[in-house]
């Protein structure tokens, strides 16, 4: 992401709109299909929201969602996509996700990515349990996960014609979320730190010590898994920009940890059960109010909600 | 009442549980439709298509249980959307569309319901991020009786409408015809014919649902006089202009307030 | 109840929730004689009004029973019946433009309050939650619906299965329900009053709406 060319006026693009901005990036139309899909330099990569349309010769690239054009004119790898935030999660490769275990078969874990959609799978050979790269293929190394367990994983393969989305647990910082915390506090803290550095950084140094390690020692607190809308999820992931107003306001009141799954699930933990619930409530209310649509990006509303839930 | 009487009232995503939803109120007849779109979801095995997404349209009436009329409406919407949605993007899934009639002047009038239903559905599909080839918009036009006497009968009303903008009255050249856009049931009952036209953004016809009606029937029965094809083409031209320019502008404006990131 | 409320509801296939709901509403509103049925009679043994309430669930995040009940009661209280005059054999139904329609005679407003039980806490007290969300409902161990009117009269109690609850807790719940209903009752009354004021402001819109109301 070196030179993101932002348009002067980020106008809304509707499905089917012609995109003259893209034509300079395209190599002669004779070899359209090959250049836009392979990885050769000077070929335009199409991100979500854009597709090739052979039927309309005037606009070989067809936007199929509404949103704004996100154009990256990097010399080597120009990319274009449509920025939009539908509520539904569409899995794409390398997304970190929080999934629920539905059942275990002979070769794989069957997990739920989002409700009412076909289940995804984690093949055992994709489930790496330690730093040495041991997979869960062998029976004795297989983690005995109860049904309903939450697993932090990463999307490996998405293909629309494939039976299901394939996930992977690439290293021990991923994996089962709740029990991991009870068994080995070290890996839990690394898991959460990874997603959570922002919490310690945005809160004053004194409270920053209430990091993962101290939290991980209490067994009586059950972390909460909150379902969030896609815009909210993106906001929580973008800690320095979009999510900042809410996260700073929140972290100033209660130190907490979270793991954000792009599929709209957020794992939240704090020092006490009450605090967990408070954080959850704040996020939920912010989400329901769609506060990011406000002029100030939800700054005022975020402060108001946090103040209301946590007291002054 | 809205500031501009020809702009529908649109509220996006009123339903927190669905992937995309929209409430649409027709400016003249106050017909209110609420639609929700969910998808792509897991499809029932018997509806599964190997290379395409299954589109399911359910129209729920404001009163009573769904009957033939609702089935007819949903099949019209279904066939219109079939050409708009890129179903090959999510094969073996379900795109579920539910439209609820919240308020209507006449719950039995098909032409009065169809335009709001279509526009509302298209908006919620956009919000839900369902892959679409292009955007369509629908308009309902009613042609009033063309004899001088009859125009006199409704003259005051039409002119009043034109003034307050409660319907867009225009006279087509040569003929003494008055076309009212998005008529309410009162105007429709005086109409000679009623045309629901849907065009894509590029000006391609997606749906023509025309009815010839005898005066006072409100689109129920015909008097067998039909309409002139040249008049109809003029009408279609006007409908195309409304859909492609004003309709698309409404969509852009409605979506423009929403932040994307 | 359709997929609009939640994709878990299928079209044309009533769930258990459907049956529970209609049974509870029937028990709460019809059998508590909230509506004076005699007032709906036009000519004895010959002509009566028939009322029908359609409930549409638009968005499901728990507590469907209470919301459905509040909505039905509010709708009944809001509804206006056209005036009918009977003179001998002639029955005239006056259009609303002619004679101001009359409200239904509702004897009282029974309102459902649903408690969700989550087992006993450390002190042996039952944990109960009012106005549960869908997630809370999925996790609860038992539930109970109490229908009370604002006078504190219990119209109906239903507790089908679930965790065993002590009689004392039930009493506490009933008392709490009676209290809650007073608040809800005030809310409904306020909403109705607001609507009344808006309608009588002098714009003629309400006439139009009044008409479509009768066609229903």
Q: Does A12 contact B256 at a Cβ distance shorter than 8 Å?
A: yes
Token pair recorded at residue C99: 């004679």
Give the architecture (CATH level 2) of B9-258.
2-Layer Sandwich (3.30)
* Lowest-confidence pick of A187-196, C22-31, C61-70, C186-195: A187-196
pLDDT at B253 over 80: yes
Region at A275 (left for phi over 0; alpha for psi -120 to 50; beta for the rest)? alpha
Q: Does C212 contact B34 at a Cβ distance shorter than 8 Å?
A: no
What is the C-alpha separation between B90 and A92, in angstroms, rounded? Answer: 13
For residue B200, the chain A residues in CB contact (below 8 A) are 16
Token pair recorded at residue A208: 């920053």
- Over residues B196-219, the pLDDT tens digits come to 889 988 888 888 888 877 655 555
Q: What is the model's pLDDT at position A33?
A: 45
CB pairs A-B closer than 8 Å: 99
Q: What is the model's pLDDT at position B124?
A: 93
Which parts of chain C fold into alpha helices (H)?
16-25, 64-78, 134-139, 167-199, 205-215
Q: What is the model's pLDDT at position B81?
A: 92
Q: What percent of chain A has pLDDT over 70?
A: 74
- Over residues B139-154, the pLDDT tens digits come to 888 877 654 434 433 3
Mean pLDDT value of segment C70-85: 89
Q: Is the omega angle on the peptide bond into residue B40 within 30 degrees of 0, that is, cis?
A: yes
pLDDT bracket for residue B177 (50, 70, 90)? low
Q: Please, which residues bridge with residue B208 across strands?
A: B197
pLDDT at B74 over 60: yes
By C-alpha distance, the chain B residue nearest A233 is: B261
Mean pLDDT value of segment A112-125: 87
pLDDT at A54 over 70: no
Q: Which residue has the higher pLDDT, B151 or A100?
A: A100
The DSSP letter of residue A145 is P
Q: Which residue has the higher pLDDT, A309 or C22?
A: C22
SS3 A311: coil
Q: What percent of chain C has pLDDT over 90?
A: 16
Q: Does B252 contact A231 at a Cβ distance shorter than 8 Å?
A: no
Q: Does B64 contact C58 at a Cβ distance shorter than 8 Å?
A: no
pLDDT bracket for residue C187 (50, 70, 90)? very high
For residue A115, the chain C residues in CB contact (below 8 A) are 7
Q: What is the model's pLDDT at position B158?
A: 40
- Most A CBs within 10 A among B11, B83, B261, hence the mutation to make, goes to B261
Closest C-alpha to B107, from B79, B67, B149 = B67
CB pairs B-C closer than 8 Å: 49
For residue A66, the chain B residues in CB contact (below 8 A) are 126, 129, 255
Q: What is the model's pLDDT at position C216?
A: 36
Element (H, E) at A112: strand A108-112
Closest C-alpha to B94, from B128, B43, B46 = B43
The DSSP letter of residue A222 is P
Q: Is there a contact between B160 and B186 (Cβ–Cβ < 8 Å)?
A: no
Q: Where are the domains positioned within chain B?
A: 9-258
Q: Is the dihedral of CA B197, A12, B13, A63 positive or negative?
A: positive
pLDDT bracket for residue B221 (50, 70, 90)? low
Q: Which residue has the higher pLDDT, A29 or B206?
A: B206
pLDDT bracket for residue A195 (50, 70, 90)? very low
Q: Which residue has the higher pLDDT, C158 or A7?
A: C158
Q: What is the model's pLDDT at position C68?
A: 92
For residue C11, the chain B residues in CB contact (below 8 A) are 58
* Lowest-confidence pick of A86-95, A106-115, A200-209, C124-133: A200-209
pLDDT bracket for residue B165 (50, 70, 90)? very low
Q: What percent of chain A has pLDDT over 90?
A: 2
Q: Does A292 contact B41 at a Cβ distance shorter than 8 Å?
A: no
pLDDT at B121 over 90: yes
For chain C, which domains are there?
Answer: 16-208 (3.30.230.70)
Angle C99-C103-C107 from CA coordinates, rounded to 5°: 150
Q: What is the model's pLDDT at position A18?
A: 81
For residue C169, give how far its alpha carbon lies from the nearest alpha carbon of chain B (Å). 34
Q: What is the model's pLDDT at position A307?
A: 82
pLDDT at C13 over 70: yes
pLDDT at A198 over 60: no
Q: What is the model's pLDDT at position C201?
A: 63
Number of Cα atoms under 13 Å in the Cβ half of residue B103: 17
Q: What is the model's pLDDT at position A182?
A: 41
* Lowest-confidence pick of A52-61, A110-119, B196-205, C129-138: A52-61
Q: Is A12 on the interface with B (CB under 8 A)?
A: yes
Q: What is the model's pLDDT at position A27?
A: 54
Average per-residue pLDDT for chain C? 83
pLDDT at A201 over 70: no
Q: Does A12 contact B89 at a Cβ distance shorter than 8 Å?
A: no
What is the C-alpha separation between C13 and A95, in angstroms, rounded? Answer: 36
């Amino acid at each position: 992401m070196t030179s993101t060319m932002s348009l002067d006026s980020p106008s809304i693009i509707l499905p089917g709109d012609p995109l003259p901005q893209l034509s300079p990036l395209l190599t002669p139309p004779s070899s359209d299909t090959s250049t836009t899909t392979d990885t050769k330099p000077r070929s335009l990569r199409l991100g979500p929201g854009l597709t090739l349309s052979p039927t309309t010769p005037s606009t070989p690239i067809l936007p199929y969602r509404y949103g704004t054009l996100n154009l990256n004119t990097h010399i080597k790898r120009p990319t274009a996509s449509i920025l939009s935030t539908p509520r539904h999660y569409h899995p794409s490769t390398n997304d970190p996700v929080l999934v629920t275990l539905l059942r275990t078969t002979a070769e794989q874990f069957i997990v739920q990515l989002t409700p009412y959609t076909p289940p995804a799978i984690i093949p055992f050979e994709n489930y790496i349990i330690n730093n040495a790269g041991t997979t869960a293929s062998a029976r004795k190394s297989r983690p005995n996960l109860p049904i309903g367990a939450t697993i932090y994983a990463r999307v490996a393969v998405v293909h629309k014609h494939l039976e299901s989305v394939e996930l992977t647990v690439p290293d021990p910082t991923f994996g089962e979320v709740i029990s991991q915390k009870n068994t080995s506090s070290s890996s839990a803290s690394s898991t959460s730190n990874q997603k959570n550095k922002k919490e310690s950084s945005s809160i004053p140094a004194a409270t920053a010590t209430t990091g993962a390690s101290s939290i991980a020692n209490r067994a009586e607190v059950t972390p909460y898994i909150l379902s969030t809308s896609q815009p909210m999820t993106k906001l929580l992931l973008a800690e320095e920009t979009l999510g900042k107003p809410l996260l700073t306001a929140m972290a100033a009141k209660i130190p907490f940890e979270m793991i954000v799954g792009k599929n709209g699930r957020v794992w939240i933990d704090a020092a006490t059960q009450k605090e967990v619930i408070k954080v959850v409530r704040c996020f939920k209310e912010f989400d329901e109010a769609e506060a990011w649509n406000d002029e100030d990006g939800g700054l005022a509303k975020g402060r108001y909600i946090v103040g209301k839930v946590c007291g002054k | 009442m809205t500031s501009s009487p020809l702009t529908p009232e649109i509220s996006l995503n009123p339903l927190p549980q669905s992937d995309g939803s929209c409430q649409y109120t027709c400016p003249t007849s106050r017909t209110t439709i609420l639609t929700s779109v969910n998808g792509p979801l897991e499809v029932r095995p018997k509806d599964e298509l190997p290379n395409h997404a299954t589109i399911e349209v359910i129209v729920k009436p404001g009163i009573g249980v769904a009957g033939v009329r609702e089935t007819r409406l949903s099949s019209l919407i279904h066939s219109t959307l079939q050409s708009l949605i890129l179903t090959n993007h999510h094969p073996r899934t379900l795109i579920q569309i539910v439209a609820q009639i919240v308020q209507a002047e006449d719950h039995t009038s098909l032409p009065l319901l169809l335009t709001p239903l279509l526009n509302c559905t298209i908006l919620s599909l956009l919000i839900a991020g369902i892959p679409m080839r292009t955007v369509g918009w629908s308009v309902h036009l009613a042609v009033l009786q063309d004899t001088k006497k009859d125009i006199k009968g409704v003259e005051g009303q039409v002119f009043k409408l034109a003034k307050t903008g409660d319907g867009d009255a225009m006279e087509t050249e040569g003929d003494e015809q008055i076309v009212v856009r998005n008529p309410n049931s009162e105007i429709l009952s005086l109409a000679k014919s009623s045309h629901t036209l849907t065009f894509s953004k590029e000006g391609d016809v997606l749906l023509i649902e025309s009815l010839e009606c005898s005066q006072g029937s409100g689109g129920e029965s015909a008097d067998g006089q039909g309409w002139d094809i040249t008049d109809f083409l003029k009408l279609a031209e006007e409908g195309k202009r409304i859909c492609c320019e004003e309709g698309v502008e409404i969509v852009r404006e409605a979506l423009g307030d929403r932040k994307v990131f | 109840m359709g997929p609009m409320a939640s994709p878990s509801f299928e079209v044309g296939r009533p769930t258990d929730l459907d049956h529970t709901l209609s049974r509870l509403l029937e028990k709460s509103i019809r059998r508590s004689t909230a509506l004076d049925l005699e007032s709906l009679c036009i000519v004895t043994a010959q002509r009566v009004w028939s009322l029908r309430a359609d409930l549409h669930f638009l968005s499901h995040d728990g507590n469907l029973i209470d919301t459905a009940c509040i909505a039905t009661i509010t709708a009944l209280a809001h509804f206006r019946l056209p005036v009918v005059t009977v003179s001998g054999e002639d029955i005239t139904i006056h259009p609303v433009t002619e004679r101001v329609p009359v409200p239904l005679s509702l004897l009282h407003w029974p309102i459902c309050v649903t408690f969700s039980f989550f087992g006993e806490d450390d002190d042996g007290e039952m944990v109960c939650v009012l106005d549960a969300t869908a997630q809370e409902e999925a996790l609860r161990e038992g539930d109970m619906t109490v229908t009370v009117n604002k006078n504190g009269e219990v119209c109906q109690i239903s507790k089908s299965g679930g965790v065993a609850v002590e009689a004392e807790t039930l009493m506490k719940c009933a008392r709490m329900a009676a209290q809650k209903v007073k608040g809800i009752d005030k809310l409904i009354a306020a909403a109705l009053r607001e609507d009344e004021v808006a309608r009588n402001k002098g714009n003629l819109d309400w006439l139009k709406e009044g008409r479509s109301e009768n066609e229903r």
